[in-house]
Chain A
């Protein structure tokens, strides 16, 4: 099973700052990686797919990069609505697997 490891577990940031979240795969997943955002009491929503393509309606301040085993989600300038949980997910092999999540909290 492909293991996905996210770091850090928690990121304490202030509004307006740049946030960088990491996701590492135990083996190469090529560019078959997605990122999701989840707010308390809500279902997750798709942010990024194919490692770097923003989903419909996702603001340009969200960007994804990487390939192989190392991936990054960057939020260029944190808005109040961006404080949430973020998960990466690989779809290169079965079973599909998620990282354990990174919580972006207000400092």
Chain B
């Protein structure tokens, strides 16, 4: 059974940093692209970032480009996102996503999410 377990969320001040992790199990992690999708309170879904199965290719939404950095460690079956210069508008539940293929397409499996709150 596919399991995606996010961690690292919490309260951070504007301008601060946070690193989210996603521990994956139940599938061959190194074969699939992975993504982060976020949902602000009471709002819709926003794709944030994606990383190819090998980790060589990374992609970002314009809203986070230059501030967020996605990575993965295939030996640990874990994906990360380093979030810097955080803003109030980054407040959201961040979902870890297993993609269907080795590059980001559609979102096959979702974690339960971790809440990031950016506030002073």
Give the interface of A toward B (CB within 8 A): 1, 32, 34, 36, 38, 43-46, 49, 55, 87, 89, 91, 94-101
Contact = CB atoms under 8 A, between A and B. Distances in A.
Contacts of A98: 44-47
Contacts of B112: 43
B104 A91 contact: yes
B108 interface: yes
Interface of B: 35, 44-47, 50, 59-62, 95, 100, 104-113
B45 A43 contact: no
- Interface residues of A, dominant DSSP: loop
A32 B109 CA distance: 17
B50 A43 contact: no
Contact of B107 (A89, A97, A100): A89
A92 B112 CA distance: 26
What 8 pairs between A and B have smallest CB-CB spacing? Answer: A34-B106, A43-B110, A96-B47, A91-B105, A98-B45, A49-B106, A95-B61, A100-B44
